[in-house]
Structure 1
């Protein structure tokens, strides 16, 4: 992806199903679970580089001993910092003779992360402050284990303002700025309510106070707590948590917007945002890793008993299609096939754009995430060429004109030529925070392979998505133009991104989308500027309606324009003004129909179509337009209090 875009977070959960001594005996270390957690997180490092956090809950700790721990870090090498730091502590305790690493009871009692319930989170922030205090997991402590709660997740709640208002009306004091705190406090409130009710019942029955904690732990209804907490949530989420007594849970939103997968055997039950990390870390096949059902919660009680059930009424399944296009690791077999199909689906459009001249075109991709789709594009182009050759041979045979010279011209020339024309050398964006600084240095992130493009050749570069077009204009097109092609074609495996996301991807400012800017330009040039004012009034009216009655008024901005007209305007807009090269630029996009054909099963496409799966999405898109029209910056995920 050439445009700078933050996205979903990653989660990893490891719940050991045997005592630590089992792993010492079989694998030679009582830290087998922590090692697996590290690997699951490392295999998902693509999902979050703002910071990480890990948590641990130990089962059956004696009174007076701590039982729940966490460590968070938001430095540049947060993964290494956290795990290296904890292992240094462990090794120091071993050197001092405080821990015998081959005695699991000592490891459990004296090392913070020597427990049975282990959780890890990788953060890509879309809200809140970027420091360790904003990293997951969040922890709500109590001197009652059954009121202690640790929570982490991959989510955005579109109605965080309304949820905070609900807390205020109860008399609570929420901390604004992150919906994670809101989720934690909502679940904590219902946990407290259930706990208090059980305590009062037992106390009134005259039960000895020393027996009450054990009984509460046995009777706490985690499913009811989760169902009551989630009832007002509007968003996409995969959330995990653990109560201080050792009861843990993992839940997925009712529409399956955010991903979550699970693997289990007699040694472990493990969860991750992606399937492949579980396959790799536990060395299992694809069919042994299951996708969590939308609207379901898996609960593992402290005694090891497990249940999976629904916590919400069924909703239409709408998983985020950007997982398939870009976010998830491409070595997942299903995602790999789908990305190749997305590339192949562009073959006809590309062929028309280059003037049907394979022998005068170099095909490449904008690294690194578009590589798989590029293989699909080349497959699609070669298939197209084979069909042409076959038809020509059949025609020549029928006319009796099939000669060696004809075969040479038909078969030996005019085949698609793929090259690695663009290189991405370094990841400057991970530490360039300010927009101006990034713009000044981004041109050095990419470089070209020289002398690949011959005079008169076209150059086709495949990208997996184009959000803002900034990098195209300021960097990539300038670099590609240095090869002096007759034409540059940039094609996106994703359709035009026209609308904000509010379920996890950091793209909520409508005015930054190149497709939106293009539609606005077309409106102004066609003498329809008044539409902008009409939509502004309509969006403000929508925001006053109840959530379930809202519609997307921003769709009116695009009415009357074809996809090709908007693509042509984008091509004009991204053409660098200071470019000495005088060739043509053609920017093209995947069609929504082809996207659905390439992705097997349900497909969430609201950023392309404007058809949001929850009421909060319609609030987001209308608010985003109002903020753009009024010249206001900032996220539009939620209505203000």
Structure 2
């Protein structure tokens, strides 16, 4: 997308179902599991580039031997660096005689990531600082394996402040900063409680100390303790946790907001945020990979037994629509079809915008994530023209006016023409993403193909979403205008983004949304500042109500205007300044109805409609308006400090 948008995050997990010797005998390497983890993460690199972390738990390690390990990094290309260093260390230890890399038992004993459970995380931060301490997995250590806990996830809790208050009320001392820490401590608390209860019961039964770890491990009820931990969570999440004894769990929020997929074979149980990485890495058919059900927890005990249990009552299924629009890689067959459908759905609006003048229109996309939707747009335009041509030929044949010149004019000189006009500098984008002065640098992110667009042409460019409009105004439109088209039409496959997100996408500030700013400008132009003041008062009153009774008062900002009126104001606001060009700019947004028609099954649309799936969303949107009105920057659901 033209506006940089981050997302939290990507997860991968590999649980080997055979001893290491099996993989060495069959595949010739004791790094089979680690290699698979790397590939799963590499195939999801699109989901996080701020930081990377991996963890390992080894099963049945002798007393005194380390059994849990973790590496995290935030350096450039941290994913490759972590795995490069670990692989280098693997062979270095063997050369120095510290380990025999061909002996599975030696590898398991000496190499940190020679275990049966391997997890990995890719981070796009929506909170906290960009340092290694913010990278998953988070680790809670104990000298009891059954109290040691490692947690990672793709999630955001809207009520993290309230959850921290629960910890404080117990007498704990949480370290504020991220909701990951809150989740870790909550699960850790219930793990401690269950562990203590088991220990006391077994002790009172006279169980010898040497037998205690194995007995506690066998009796530990992971689904129960994690369900107790999650009872108060409000948010979207896919969370993976590993206990030091080798018990493992993966859970997905009750509304399925965040994605999570799994693959089970005789050799491995694997999880990832996206479906296709599992298919590619393990050469699996699509039918072998399934989504973890919303509100479901997959538990794998240390002995390898697996269970699937519900940890929360069923809720309305509202998976994040941005997974389809932008975040997930487009090589998933279903997402590929849906993105093409989103592009095709824009055809009627585009044809109207260019007045049907295909002969002087150039169609392109803003790289690279909109490319698949662009193919759908071009298919849709060609189908539209094919139907027009067919109708004209049939009519001309009926009237006796069909000639070669007419056919040439209908088809050859008036057919949709596609070109790659805009190019994005990926390295420049990565640099700018964490730069406070990004607005001064963003104009250099894009460049164009010169000589493709002729003066007087209509230039139609497809983007997958328009959030702030900053890059359009300061970079893309200025560059595109150099070719002197008579009109530039910018099309978004996503509807107008009107409301902030609080479930894992980095867009929580109302004042940064161009659709919101357009509606505010229209209200003020109409002399309705008093309405904006009233909405402020209404939001304050709404936040005094119990959470489950709150409504979205910000919807009133948009109520007086049609979608087309707001789009027209957006078009005016992004018009490039400081250049000599007299052309026209029009911004077109997908309709919400067409979005739903393009996506198979339910999809969450709160960014566009303001209808949130949880009470935390309504709390957050009202708070976001208060922050905007008061000129307060930052997340509207930030943790207390």
Q: Fold match, TM over 0.5?
A: yes
C-alpha distance after superposition, 1:43-102 (max 9, x if no partner): 101100000000000000000001001001111221122111111211110111121111
Displacement of 1:603: 0.3
8 Å CA contact retained: 1:362, 1:419: yes
Query: Counterpart of 1:205?
Result: 205
C-alpha distance after superposition, 1:546-599 (max 9, x if no partner): 110000000000011000000000000001221211100000100000000000
Give the alignment of 1:334-345 within 5 angstroms: 334-345=334-345
CA distance in 2, matches of 1:234, 1:12: 23
Whether 1:484 aligns to 2:484 is yes
Query: Counterpart of 2:347?
Result: 347
Query: Counterpart of 1:506?
Result: 506
Query: Counterpart of 2:280?
Result: 280
CA distance in 1, matches of 2:588, 2:427: 26
How many equivalent pairs are there? 641
Query: Counterpart of 1:524?
Result: 524
* 3-state DSSP of counterpart to 1:210: helix
Query: Counterpart of 2:145?
Result: 145
CA distance in 2, matches of 1:336, 1:323: 12
Query: Counterpart of 1:607?
Result: 607
Structure 1 segments unaligned to the other structure (5+ residues): none
* 3-state DSSP of counterpart to 1:554: helix
Query: Counterpart of 2:111?
Result: 111
8 Å CA contact retained: 1:616, 1:638: no
Query: Counterpart of 2:214?
Result: 214
Give the alignment of 1:487-636 within 5 angstroms: 487-636=487-636
CA distance in 2, matches of 1:23, 1:595: 45
CA distance in 2, matches of 1:425, 1:208: 64
Give the alignment of 1:6-21 within 5 angstroms: 6-21=6-21
C-alpha distance after superposition, 1:440-467 (max 9, x if no partner): 2222221111111123211001000000
Query: Counterpart of 1:77?
Result: 77
8 Å CA contact retained: 1:500, 1:607: yes
Query: Counterpart of 2:366?
Result: 366
Query: Counterpart of 1:68?
Result: 68
Query: Counterpart of 1:388?
Result: 388
C-alpha distance after superposition, 1:341-361 (max 9, x if no partner): 000000110111011100010
CA distance in 1, matches of 2:404, 2:355: 27
* 3-state DSSP of counterpart to 2:483: coil
Displacement of 1:110: 0.1
Whether 1:98 aligns to 2:98 is yes
Query: Counterpart of 1:259?
Result: 259
C-alpha distance after superposition, 1:22-58 (max 9, x if no partner): 0000000111000000000011011000000000000
CA distance in 2, matches of 1:435, 1:79: 21
Give the alignment of 1:260-339 within 5 angstroms: 260-339=260-339
RMSD of Structure 2 on Structure 1 (CA): 1.1
Displacement of 1:432: 2.9
8 Å CA contact retained: 2:123, 2:135: yes
8 Å CA contact retained: 2:262, 2:292: yes
CA distance in 1, matches of 2:434, 2:73: 21
Displacement of 1:437: 3.1
* 3-state DSSP of counterpart to 1:115: coil
Whether 1:130 aligns to 2:130 is yes
Query: Counterpart of 1:30?
Result: 30
CA distance in 2, matches of 1:411, 1:361: 14
C-alpha distance after superposition, 1:257-290 (max 9, x if no partner): 0000001100000000000111110011111111
Displacement of 1:192: 0.5
Query: Counterpart of 2:461?
Result: 461
8 Å CA contact retained: 2:458, 2:487: yes
8 Å CA contact retained: 1:429, 1:438: no
C-alpha distance after superposition, 1:125-169 (max 9, x if no partner): 011121111100000011111011000000000000000000000
C-alpha distance after superposition, 1:467-494 (max 9, x if no partner): 0000000000000001110100000000
C-alpha distance after superposition, 1:347-396 (max 9, x if no partner): 11011101110001000000011100001011111111011111111111
8 Å CA contact retained: 2:177, 2:639: no
CA distance in 2, matches of 1:8, 1:462: 25
8 Å CA contact retained: 2:176, 2:640: no
CA distance in 1, matches of 2:441, 2:640: 36
* 3-state DSSP of counterpart to 2:618: helix
8 Å CA contact retained: 1:620, 1:638: no
Whether 1:160 aligns to 2:160 is yes
